[in-house]
Each structure stands twice: as structure tokens, then as C-alpha cells.
Amino acid sequence: MKKVEIPYIDYDQLGRRLCDLRQSHPRMLRYVCFCRYQEMKEDPAKWDAAPEHCTRDGACEDCLRPVEREVSQSELARVLGVTKTMVGNWEQGRTSPDLEYLIMYSRITGIDLEKLLF
């Protein structure tokens, strides 16, 4: 049996990775767009807030439109059910996200959790 070493997590580096994912990962944008679509479907009054590129058909996973903008901290916070301040603190490395939020990042982007952390 081998001794298991406690892995070191560089939270500053993790924060930069999370920020990069929010700003430029196409699956992140599509997921946030999908969540907004679901909200608007439940409350048609919110259609005015639809992204310009939204075809309003709910096929966000198959959307071929180019990803032309980044997801804001506020948008991501809304989807994750946390505050904008929490997302900002994670990205600055001031605090570390709880495991459930790291799992959500991993599932949304399709990046293995271990690759995200190390």
C-alpha cells in the first residue's frame, strides 16, 4: 500500500481558471443562456431580456451561433444560486468554492474535476 499524499490546491490558480471558464468557455455561455431561456419560458414577461442571438427554441446545446460575449459574474452567480461577490471572491482566490460548485463548473464545462483543481 502506498501513502496517500494530501494534494496541494493553489486557490489563486484555481480562481484564474474559474474566471477563464466564465469568460471564454462556449459550454458555459450556452448553459447560462439555456438557464435564462428556462426562466423566460416560465415568465414570458422576461422575453425582453433574451440574449440577442437567442432563437428562443430551447435548443441551446445545439446552438451553432458564435459565442460573442462572456458570461458576467452576475449571470453565473444567478445560475449557481450564489451572490456575485462569492463568484468574484472565488475568481480572486480570496475564498474557495464549496465542492458542489466545483462539481457544477466541471459538469457545465465538461472538464474533469481533477483537471480543474490541479
Predicted confidence (pLDDT) per residue in 65-102, tens digit: 555 568 899 989 999 999 999 999 999 999 999 999 99
Confidence of residue 51 (pLDDT cuts 50, 70, 90): low
Q: Which residue has better confidence, 113 or 50?
A: 113
Residue 78 lies in a domain: yes
Determine the length of the chain: 118
Residue 104 lies in a domain: yes
Which ranges in the chain belong to alpha helices (H)? 11-24, 26-42, 73-80, 84-92, 99-109, 113-117
Residue 2 lies in a domain: no
Q: What is the number of structural domains in the chain?
A: 1
- Its domain, for residue 83, covers 11-117
How far, rounded to the nearest angstrom, does the alpha carbon of residue 71 sit from its chain's CA centroid?
A: 8
Separation between Cα atoms, residue 104 and residue 23, nearest integer Å: 16
